[in-house]
Structure 1
Amino acid sequence: MKSEWLQLDGLSADLADLYRDLHQHPELSLQEVRSARLLAEALDSAGFEVTEQVGGTGVVGVLRNGDGPVVMLRADFDALPVEEKTGLPYASTTRATDAEGHDVPVMHACGHDMHAVCLVGAATLLARTSDTWSGTLLVVLQPAEELARGARDMVEDGLFERFPRPGIVLGQHVAPLPAGFIGHASGPVMAAADSAAVVLHGRGGHGSRPEATVDPVLMAAHVVTRLQGIVAREVPPAEAAVVTVGRLQAGTKDNIIPNTAELGINVRSYSPEVRALVKAAIERIIHAESAAGPAPQPPDIVWTHSAPLLVSDPEATAATVAAFTDHFGPQRLLPMPLVAASEDVGVFGEAADVPTVFWFWGGLDTETALAALSSGNIDSLPSNHSPHFAPVIEPTLTTGVQALIIAARTWLA
């Protein structure tokens, strides 16, 4: 591969400045107005046809460069309600109002700012070297990944009707791996995710007279305990799943039995069969415990957020990883286990009915991360969603830009 395709000379400083800007001014999912404007301006300056407000705050750039395949490069750019504790000079002090009206701190704790800047960098360099390839680049900057809805919002807003339909979807995620390294897997890569909001109904009253009430808190406690038996006793041992009750809220005072109890449930799974089994078991248990309550009315169960199983197409992944190996060398490639976290990038490939290739790349200080990996002390490293997680700018930025360019060049003519 010709080295000029991958040279960031003269671009690195601008990309680093854009990264620090986005990191210092994060925006929650569905609120990414400023970030979208900056990213759209960067793509416009690189020569792309730019469309904003696709599926909300999404940005799409198209670069038509003669006959050839349509290759889609995707990155997300929303942030999280996390208070940053990195101590960086460009750390976020931003606060915002979330969807429930709460004032919350905001931080790019998952590296989406790095994702977006690397995509801008790759798009810029591919545009500058357009005399060396042909085809069409479809650059998609997606909002609201943390809600597992941004990809579907863009598809439902006509992404593949309004813009060229791709032959392949390429994406990456910065991870708690050594900076400069690429993590790869084939087939299932990240879990399917489903979230449910549950309301259990009781009959409130004085805590001193429980016999005159129906206690939804007791119902909720039984539900939480019983749900833990699904994976242990209903999912086959050769399969994997996670059931988490991350939210349980009820009551206002210790001597008042409330009318309702609310639960927030999250599920991770790796096959359609297990996904259906677990969701059905959750509903069965909630209804059964409610009936045992005995609740005065059936529970409310609403499945709110959903992301499909992320599958990195084996054949397309093999070709892409071979190109990575050729450039980075085998010593900088790390095979990855199944990841229980989820990503909605799979919605794009699923909707377009084309292969998706997805990989990880490292963002932590290389020496520190390698030492932790070699000693088996991985838990000492800050992970995505941690208030201490912020990728080192280099070599994370250069590696992320180069990986996207190499992957795109693998599929362009």
Structure 2
Amino acid sequence: MPVATPLFRSLGLSAALTLALVAPANAQDTIRADIAADLPSLMEIYRDLHANPELSFQEVRTAKKLAAEARRLGFDVTEGVGKTGVVAVMKNGAGPVVMLRADMDGLPVVEQTGLPFASKVRAMSPAGIETGVMHACGHDTHMTGWVATARQLVRRKAEWSGTLVMILQPAEEIGSGALAMLDDGLFTRFPKPQYVLGFHDAAQAPAGFIGYTPGFALANVDTIDIKVKGLGGHGAYPQSTKDPVVLGARIVTTLQTLVSRELDPQDAAVVTVGSFQAGAKHNIISDEARLLLTVRSYSDATRAKLLDGIKRIARGEAIAAGMPDDKMPEVTMSDTFTPAVYNSPEFTLETAKMLKARFGDQRVAQVPASMGGEDFSRFYRADPDNITSLIFWVGGVPLAEYNKAKAEGIEMPSLHSPFWAPEADTVIATAAEAMTAMTLKLMAK
């Protein structure tokens, strides 16, 4: 998941809040104690998942291991949904259908955490490049939290009624896994959910703190290539050429006006040119340049304005440069578009009240939306009129490290960093308690 935003940095959390992390839950509520008793076995699962990550759509070992755990708990389990996805269903009488999701894939990153169970896995990427593999986005905590939640809900079957659908999704990191599962019949072959819940660890928040965002929480993500055509020649005789580097530079500069001059200043958006490729020698004007863009937005209307604007600017600058029609830039948009994540506002706020009552006001806070992307959005967008959706954050930075980093101005490792090592037991326990409590509230008898 491409998210490395300092979500909690503005909250002013401090060491004085340590007590909030260990404050007891209601005396009649044993969820926290039961999860704590389960932690030794859960951490064995976590360490194994961490040491054996798999790339997107290659999560064969991971899926098999966790599918076996779900079967042991009594779920009806189907593997191979959307290539490597897992769907576990438990029917427990009449009531709502609630879906809980965790993502499985690791990243092509060489781990440098120094952990005794650090990944040493190497694998071949779809591009044919051998690479190290690491759970640098914390999906190992997501999966272990998923297992912990499943155990708690099975233990409490007498307390809920309805249908529980727990899914393990592949290929979140490339924005393709959720759509692959939906295309493979997730909502037709299996009970269609009325509620979809998930969580993500946060690398800029203290371990055990929970963040929520009503409405848009994560952005639309578009990947765009622009092929800028020209007429190559000798660098000493530019008058006989049509320089694609100069034209590409004009396009890059004008693209910056899309956000600054064509959108409402309160409408968040990003247009970033991440790569400009052209030429191979000092004194040769090439006949082609390539621009690689990432484009972020929240609403579909803003997204349309940006995408249309990119095409218009590329063509307009080419016309201004005197390019003929057969040398207009080619703008190509990737098929792996990731829609914006939208948390159902009223449900999110209601859930936040419940979480604050359970964990305390100091431990749960509303956080700003991020320009990162998450294909969790696909589940809600498949039927927005009938599905209520929420993904929330669980902080993973040990509190002492968090406070030291804030006090000394130290930059903490972000998600996708080879140094990211969350306080896994706290993330897992917090997320599992929150997910269990949320599900029990929705499906209460």
TM over 0.5: yes
Partner of residue 189 from structure 1, selected from 217, 220, 242:
217
Question: Residue 327 of structure 2 corresponds to which residue in structure 1?
Answer: 297
Quick one: which amino acid aligns to residue 357 of structure 1? L
How many percent identity over aligned positions? 43
Question: 1:70, 1:138 within 8 Å by CA — same for their partners in 2?
Answer: yes
Equivalent of residue 232 in structure 1, options 260, 274, 280:
260
Residue number among 151, 171, 175 corresponding to 1:144 in the alignment: 171
Matches within 5 A, 1:250-289: 250-289=278-317
Letter in 2 for 1:298: M
* Superposed CA offset, 1:48-69 (max 9, x none): 1111111121111111111111
Q: Distance in 2 between matches of 1:267 and 1:236?
A: 16
User: Does the 8 Å contact 1:166/1:352 carry over to 2?
Assistant: no
**Alignment-derived partner of residue 337 in structure 1:** 368
Assess if the C-alpha contact under 8 Å between 2:89 and 2:166 holds in 1.
yes
Q: Please, which runs of 5 or more residues in structure 2 have no aligned partner?
A: 1-25
* 2:200 equivalent in structure 1: 173
1:208 CA drift (Å): 4.2
Superposed, which structure 2 residues align to 1:201-216 within 5 Å?
201-216=229-244
> Superposition pairs for residues 43-192 of structure 1, below 5 Å?
43-176=70-203, 177-192=205-220
Of 389, 402, 406, 1:356 maps to 389
The SS at the match of 1:262 is strand
How big is each residue's C-alpha offset from its partner over 1:174-217, in whole Å with a ceiling of 9 and x where there is no partner?
00211111111211211221111222222334444444433323
Give the letter aligned to residue 329 of structure 2. P
Q: State the alpha-carbon separation in 1 of the partners of residues 252 and 339 from structure 2.
A: 25
CA contact (8 A) 1:5 1:126 kept: no
Residue 400 of structure 2 aligns with an amino acid whose one-letter code is E
Amino acid of the structure 1 residue aligned with 2:434: A
- Asked whether the equivalents of residues 222 and 333 of structure 2 are also in contact (C-alpha less than 8 Å), the reply is yes
Q: Does 1:4 align with 2:30?
A: yes
Evaluate the alpha carbon distance shift between residue 336 and residue 370 of structure 1 in structure 2; reply closer, same or farther with a 3 A threshold.
farther
Letter in 2 for 1:62: V
Partner of 2:46: 19
Seen in structure 2, the aligned counterparts of structure 1 residues 322 and 106 have a Cα distance that, compared at 3 Å, is same
* Conserved? CA contact 1:160–1:352, under 8 Å: no
SS at match of 2:35: coil
Question: 4+ residue runs of structure 1 moved beyond 6 angstroms?
Answer: none
Distance in 2 separating the partners of 1:142 and 1:153: 9
Size of the alignment, in residue pairs?
411
**TM-score, normalized by length of structure 2?**
0.87
- Segments of structure 1 that go 5 or more residues without pairing to the other structure are none
After superposition, the C-alpha distances for 1:114-152 in whole angstroms (9 at most, x for unaligned) are 111111211122112212211111111111112222111
Q: Do the aligned partners of 1:320 and 1:410 also contact (CA within 8 Å) in 2?
A: no
Return the alpha-carbon distance in structure 2 between the equivalents of residues 197 and 76 of structure 1: 28
The match for 2:341 is: 310
Residue 410 of structure 1 is matched in structure 2 by 441
Aligned with 1:391: secondary structure? Answer: coil
Cα RMSD after superposing both structures: 2.0
Q: CA deviation at 1:395?
A: 1.4
Q: CA deviation at 1:41?
A: 1.8
C-alpha displacement of 1:9: 4.7
Asked if structure 1 preserves the Cα contact closer than 8 Å seen for 2:36 and 2:429, the reply is no
Secondary structure (helix, strand or coil) at the match of 1:71 reads strand
Q: SS at the partner of 2:382?
A: helix
Q: How many Å separate the matches in 2 of 1:106 and 1:141?
A: 19
Deviation at 1:73, TM superposition (A): 0.5
For residues 327-406 of structure 1, the aligned pairs below 5 Å read 327-353=358-384, 354-372=387-405, 375=407, 377=409, 380-406=411-437
1:259 to partner: Cα distance: 3.3
